[in-house]
């Protein structure tokens, strides 16, 4: 039921609007590419401010020193995670991951030239044999003779 409700709601929103939002998002990400350092600094500062305020409030409420220390450690772990998520939001995460995978693949191949040669040869042989057999078959069996009504021959 919930699913259905959500669907009708989605269709109420014009697709143009959704497209505009997507374009805006990606444009913001493109701009973010050129100010990575600034974004990183902003993120640090933003979270530092948050924890500063949170600590101030706790201290005002009279939290013990030991507990405050643990809280600070917890917060540090959280901050790392929060930053990670935000960083992903501002970048083309899946594209970047794909690019990293490709580079990793290339590096692995370059490191094992023997393996690479064998793999390339195997693929080349496979493609070559396939193409060869197909061209022969194509010429001999698949193509019809260049005359009208060849089936009456």
Partner 1 sequence: MEKQGDLVQGTLDMLVLKALARGAKHGYAVAEWIHESSNDVLHVEEGALYPALHRLELRGLLSAEWGSSENNRRAKFYSLTAAGKKKLMEEAEYWRRMSGAIARVMQTA
Shortest distance in whole angstroms from residue 98 CB to partner 1: 21
The rounded distance, in Å, linking the Cα atoms of 12 and 38 is 38
Cα–Cα distances in Å, from 82 out to 36, 85, 89, 106?
16, 5, 11, 32
C-beta closer to partner 1: residue 24 or 136: 24
Cα–Cα distance for residue pair 124/132, rounded to 1 Å = 12
Crossing angle for the helix pair 93-111 and 113-137, to the nearest 10 degrees: 100
- Map the footprint of partner 1 across residues 13-72, applying CB under 8 A: 21, 24-25, 28-29, 42, 45-47, 49-50, 52-54
Residue 85 within binding range of partner 1, rule CB under 8 A: yes
**What's the Cα-to-Cα distance from 58 to each of 14, 19, 55, rounded to whole Å?**
46, 44, 5
Give the footprint of partner 1 on residues 130-149 (CB under 8 A). Answer: none
Q: Provide, rounded to whole angstroms, the least separation between the CB of residue 22 and partner 1.
A: 9
The reply on whether position 86 binds partner 1 by CB under 8 A is yes
What minimum distance in Å lies between the beta carbon of 102 and partner 1? Answer: 26
Distance CA 150, CA 153 (A): 5
Among residues 78, 130, 131, 135, the one that binds partner 1 under rule CB under 8 A: 78
Stretch that binds partner 1, among 61-69, 77-85, 133-141, 145-153 (CB under 8 A): 77-85
- State in Å, rounded, how far the first CA of the chain is from the last one: 66
Which residues would be at the binding site for partner 1 (CB under 8 A)?
5, 9, 21, 24-25, 28-29, 42, 45-47, 49-50, 52-54, 78-79, 81-82, 85-86, 89-90
């Amino acid at each position: 039921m919930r699913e259905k409700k959500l669907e009708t709601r989605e269709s109420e929103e014009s697709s143009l609007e959704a497209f505009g939002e997507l374009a805006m998002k990606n444009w913001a990400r493109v701009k973010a590419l050129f100010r990575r350092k600034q974004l990183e600094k902003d993120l640090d500062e933003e979270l530092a401010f948050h924890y500063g305020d949170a600590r101030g409030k706790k201290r005002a409420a009279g939290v013990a020193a030991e507990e405050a220390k643990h809280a600070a450690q917890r917060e540090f772990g959280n901050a790392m995670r929060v930053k990670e998520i935000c960083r992903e939001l501002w970048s083309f995460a899946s594209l970047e991951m794909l690019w990293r995978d490709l580079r990793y693949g290339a590096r692995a191949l370059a490191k094992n030239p023997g393996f690479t040669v064998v793999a390339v040869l195997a693929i080349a042989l496979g493609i070559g044999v396939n193409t060869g057999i197909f061209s022969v078959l194509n010429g001999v069996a698949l193509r019809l003779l260049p005359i009208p009504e060849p089936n009456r021959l």
